[in-house]
């Protein structure tokens, strides 16, 4: 038997008559016994106090229900462990005054085992809280006592309606913890269409009350499915409400009311958002569209954006896969990417096989999404196109014609002329993004510069599978200035196309008239 003690002992001393006689109360030795020299050894006692159920089982928790009756068991023994019978023990409560004793005088006589027993219970079902009970026996002129703290709770026992014990209801938690679920049909790994909301019913001291009936209500109504409108608290005083999403995004709170009372609370706001991906909200873009075919590893980052029919980013973890016929895309562990907040990135790099001039590079990005309308997964796919070109294939063009001579230009009174055309490849592609165009004059009479079109901007219709008209070559403007051209003549100009460390040079002839700037 587990025993909890709080002992107060007062050591007795007494002066004995010269004859050495003496004695205690009936059945209780007051002194230890005389010695040959006439002295005595004082006896000491120990008082212990236990809390037991009405069936005599120790209550180790030091608490009992307001609807229960319990036993207070005081045990009186000598310091040597011998039971002390026939002594009066007085029980008392100090502090809260929660208890009612039987017998009401709160006294009992120790039996042959040294035990004095009375019953105790709460003065009322709502008399809840903590208190201190003591047991005291006086032997001779010395009082021996023990005390213990105990609590009266609102725990339920048979025959007591727990609704009468409930004094409050509190919202405890939600699963998922972020209080957000996805639209019906969008569930999956890490995405829940159902939330579990937990509430706790307590008594006046804050202790859990099991067996309490609770009613649930969604506000606003009908925006979610409330899977059960009622529930009953468990042994921990907790009751759960289950909420499932419908097909529209919304926000909702769930009110919990102790049935038949005005006690109520509501959950934190629960959001319903994020449907499945839809083709119309599947978007691809890239950091660069015209790459350098001469540089293995020249790259562009493809941004994949995925939303639902309501324009909300899809739930994290939506996977997409990318494929291409030229170069490489993705990584060795994942040929695509997985979205976070509806976004993810895939890298495309130039390498073998490389396309010929005029052949575009398609990158196809594909994902699978559940369609509530179709009742099955549907494929969502889009294609983004790149060009990979080389400055070695570059040239100047006027319309569709490769320019080898600037022809007859008209110079103004300041002896200046401007030629406009385009720079790019024979198949109409632009040079690699960032390429530079410069022009050198081989004559002191003619000065030349590029005034438009260098560096080459990254410009491409990323959606069109074929080149659209006009071509994607880059427009350029070249300005020529004559210096003391006293007679007409011609000269070669050297055009330089450069991308990284790769350079293409070619000559173009300029015919010019005699021209002296006006003063």
Write the CATH number of the domain with boundaries 7-153: 2.60.40.10
Q: Which of 7-21, 117-131, 158-172, 323-337 has the lowest mean pLDDT?
A: 7-21
Domain 391-512, what fold?
Immunoglobulin-like (2.60.40)
Residue 78 confidence (pLDDT) above 50: yes
pLDDT in tens, 227-282: 999 999 998 899 999 999 998 888 999 999 999 999 999 999 898 887 788 888 99
Q: What is the pLDDT of residues 433-470, one digit of tens each?
A: 999 999 999 899 999 999 999 999 987 655 566 654 44
How many CB atoms neighbour CB 162 within 10 A? 22
> What are the residues whose beta carbons fall under 8 Å from the beta carbon of 76, sequence distance 6 or more?
45, 46, 47, 48, 83, 84, 87, 89, 110, 114, 115, 116, 137, 144
Among the listed residues 66, 72, 69, the one whose alpha carbon sits nearest the alpha carbon of residue 98:
66
CATH topology of domain 279-389: Immunoglobulin-like (2.60.40)
**Structural domain spans, the chain:** 7-153, 162-273, 279-389, 391-512
Q: Report the C-alpha gap between 67 and 45 in whole angstroms.
A: 35
CATH code of 162-273, in short, is: 2.60.40.10
Q: pLDDT tens, 24-38? A: 333 333 333 333 334
Q: What is the pLDDT of residue 461?
A: 59
Report the largest interatomic distance among the alpha carbons of the chain, rounded to a whole angstrom.
161
State the Cα–Cα distance between residues 360 and 354, nearest whole angstrom.
Answer: 10
Write phi, then psi, for 280 (nearest 5 degrees). Answer: -70, -15
- Whether a cis peptide bond, with omega within 30° of 0, leads into 176 is yes
Identify the three-state secondary structure at position 393: helix
Find the range with the poorest average confidence among 122-131, 225-234, 356-365, 367-376.
367-376
Are domains 7-153 and 279-389 of this chain identical in fold? yes
**Unique residue bearing structure tokens 């029919």:** 309
Tell me what pLDDT residue 35 has: 36
Mean pLDDT for 68-96 is 92
Cα(22)–Cα(41) distance, integer angstroms: 12
Q: What does the pLDDT read at residue 360?
A: 92
CB 459 within 8 A of CB 288: no
User: How deeply is 299 buried, as exposed, middle or buried, from its count of CB atoms within 10 A (0-12, 13-18, 19+)?
Assistant: middle
Using a pLDDT cut of 90, give the percent of the chain over it: 62
- The better pLDDT of the pair 402, 98 is held by 402
Q: For residue 212, how many C-alpha atoms fall within 13 Å in the half-sphere facing its CB?
A: 35
Cα gap 248→312, rounded to integer Å: 11
ω into 103 cis (within 30 of 0): yes
Task: For residues 376 and 353, give the distance between their C-alpha atoms in angstroms, rounded to a whole number.
Answer: 37
Q: How many other C-beta atoms lie within 10 A of the C-beta of residue 490?
A: 12
Strand pairing category for 194-202 and 238-244:
antiparallel
For residue 465, the tally of other CB atoms under 10 A from its CB is 10
Q: Is the pLDDT of residue 6 over 50?
A: no
């Amino acid at each position: 038997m587990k025993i909890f003690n709080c002992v107060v002992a007062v050591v007795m001393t007494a002066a004995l008559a010269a004859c050495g006689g003496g004695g205690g109360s009936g059945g209780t030795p007051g002194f230890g016994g005389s010695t040959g020299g006439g002295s005595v050894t004082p006896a000491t006692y120990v008082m212990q106090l236990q809390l037991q159920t009405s069936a005599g089982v120790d209550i180790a928790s030091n608490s009992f229900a307001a609807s229960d009756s319990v036993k207070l068991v005081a045990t009186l023994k000598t310091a040597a462990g011998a039971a002390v019978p026939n002594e009066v023990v007085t029980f008392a409560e100090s502090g809260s005054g929660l208890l009612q004793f039987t017998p009401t005088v709160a006294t009992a006589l120790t039996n042959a085992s040294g035990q004095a027993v009375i019953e105790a219970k709460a003065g009322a079902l709502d008399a809840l809280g903590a208190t201190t009970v003591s047991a005291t026996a006086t032997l001779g002129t010395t009082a021996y006592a023990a005390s213990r703290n105990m609590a009266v709770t609102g725990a339920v026992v048979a025959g007591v309606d727990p609704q009468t014990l409930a004094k409050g209801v509190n919202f405890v938690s939600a699963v998922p913890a972020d209080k957000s679920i996805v639209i019906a049909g969008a569930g999956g790994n890490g995405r829940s269409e159902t939330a579990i909301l937990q509430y706790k019913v307590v008594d006046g001291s804050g202790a859990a009350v099991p067996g309490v009936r609770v009613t649930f209500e969604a506000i606003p109504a009908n925006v979610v499915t409330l899977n059960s409108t009622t529930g009953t608290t468990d042994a921990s005083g907790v009751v759960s409400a289950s909420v499932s999403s419908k097909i529209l995004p919304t926000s909702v709170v769930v009110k919990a009311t102790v049935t038949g009372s005005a006690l109520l609370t509501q959950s934190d706001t629960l959001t319903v958002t994020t449907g499945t991906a839809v083709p119309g909200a599947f978007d691809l873009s890239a950091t660069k569209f015209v790459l350098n075919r001469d540089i293995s590893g020249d790259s562009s980052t493809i941004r994949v954006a995925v939303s639902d029919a309501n324009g909300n980013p899809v739930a994290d973890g939506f996977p997409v896969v990318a494929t291409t016929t030229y170069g490489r895309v993705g990584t060795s562990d994942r040929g695509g990417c997985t979205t976070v907040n509806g976004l993810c990135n895939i890298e495309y790099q130039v390498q073998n096989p490389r396309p010929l001039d005029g052949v575009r590079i398609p990158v196809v990005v594909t994902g699978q999404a559940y369609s509530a309308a179709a009742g099955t997964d549907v494929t969502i796919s889009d294609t983004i196109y790149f060009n990979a070109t080389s400055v070695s294939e570059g040239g100047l063009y006027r319309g569709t014609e490769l320019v080898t001579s600037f022809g007859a230009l008209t110079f103004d009174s300041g002896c200046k002329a401007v030629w406009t055309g385009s720079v790019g490849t024979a198949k109409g592609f632009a040079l690699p993004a960032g390429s530079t165009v410069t022009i050198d004059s081989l004559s002191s009479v003619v000065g030349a510069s590029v005034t438009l079109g260098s560096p080459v901007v990254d410009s491409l219709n990323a959606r069109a599978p074929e080149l659209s008209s006009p071509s994607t070559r880059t427009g350029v403007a070249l300005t020529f200035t004559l210096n003391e051209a006293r007679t007409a003549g011609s000269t070669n100009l050297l055009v330089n196309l450069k991308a990284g460390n790769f350079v293409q040079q070619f000559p173009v002839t300029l015919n010019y008239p005699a021209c002296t700037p006006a003063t």
